[in-house]
Amino acid sequence: MTGAGNNTYLLIGERGSSPSAGLIDAGVGDARHLAELAAALDAQHARLDAVVVTHGHPDHAAGAPAIAASHPHASFIKRPWPDEDARYAVAWHTLADGDVVTAGDVPLVALHTPGHSPDHMAFWHEPSRTIFTGDLVVQGSSVMIHWSRGGDLGQYLASLQRLLDLDPRRLLPAHGPAIDDPKAVLSGYLAHRRERERQIVQALRAGHSSVQAIAESIYDGLAPALLPAAQENVRAHLEKLKTDGLAANVDDRWTLLGSAFS
């Protein structure tokens, strides 16, 4: 599910003969990534001091032990997600909402932005109005919310709104290209999810009650290979409606509640 792979961002300070460097996200420990990282640091005679991880999914965190092995000065920093973090054998330093982390002499404000995962952090560089957005947005695509693996659509939408409220100029995601029109992309995501919720409410009203039946009614003609992802998405929406007090379920039989949508 990582598409064309994932981005990590290396920030190198300007001070001194051996400037400090910070890396945002650890990647997976791919040999080519490690070699490129070493080359970029060598070119500036820089020392890797910090690896700041947006969240505990493997494509962002699994490379931490390999980086630790070749960069002994580096601290590994993320918001805790104990079950996931324990899979990667480094001493994690913890990060809370609003903390300022320094990466390559650049101060970044940590923004707890859960929803895609419970531990997700975005990093805000106020002077340039840039946000390192991890897995919150992918240009030209949508982001998976796996309810069964700690995803929460309601939290995710609140996180997108939080980014929008900062009025950023640029988003640097962990997948896909930089986003130079953040307002359009974030507003588009929010509108898309509102429309999807409306379709799911309609499907429930029409008598479709299982995740599969709702998914098939909405994603008409979808290739079978894509149906599991569509069902995961429907489930995330249903769980949001349930949290909002607008739907209920007994196992996989879902119904709308009361007159909320009348």
Q: Which of residues 3 and 82 has its CB atom nearest to Zn ion in the complex?
A: 3
Is residue 110 within 8 A of residue 59, CB to CB? The reply is no
Kindly state the number of chain residues that form the binding site for Zn ion, as judged by CB under 5 A.
Answer: 2
- Shortest spacing between CB 226 and Zn ion, in angstroms: 19
Core vs surface per residue 200-222: b (16+ CB within 10 A) or e: bbebbeeebeebebbbbbbbeee
Q: Which of residues 49 and 135 has its CB atom nearest to Zn ion in the complex?
A: 135
Q: Which of residues 101 and 138 has its CB atom nearest to Zn ion in the complex?
A: 138
Using the contact rule CB under 5 A, the part of the chain among 31-39, 53-61, 86-94, 96-104 near Zn ion is 53-61
- Shortest spacing between CB 187 and Zn ion, in angstroms: 22
Q: Which of residues 1 and 223 has its CB atom nearest to Zn ion in the complex?
A: 1
Beta pairing partners, 166? none
Beta pairing partners, 50? 22, 75
Q: Residue holding tokens 């805000």?
A: 124
CA 260 – CA 218 distance, rounded (Å):
21
Q: Check binding of 135 to Zn ion (CB under 5 A).
A: yes
Q: Which of residues 108 and 121 has its CB atom nearest to Zn ion in the complex?
A: 121
Bridge pairing between strands 92-94 and 75-78:
parallel
CA 172 – CA 44 distance, rounded (Å):
23
Q: Check binding of 57 to Zn ion (CB under 5 A).
A: yes
Which residue is at the shortest CB distance from Zn ion?
57
Contact set with Zn ion (CB under 5 A): 57, 135
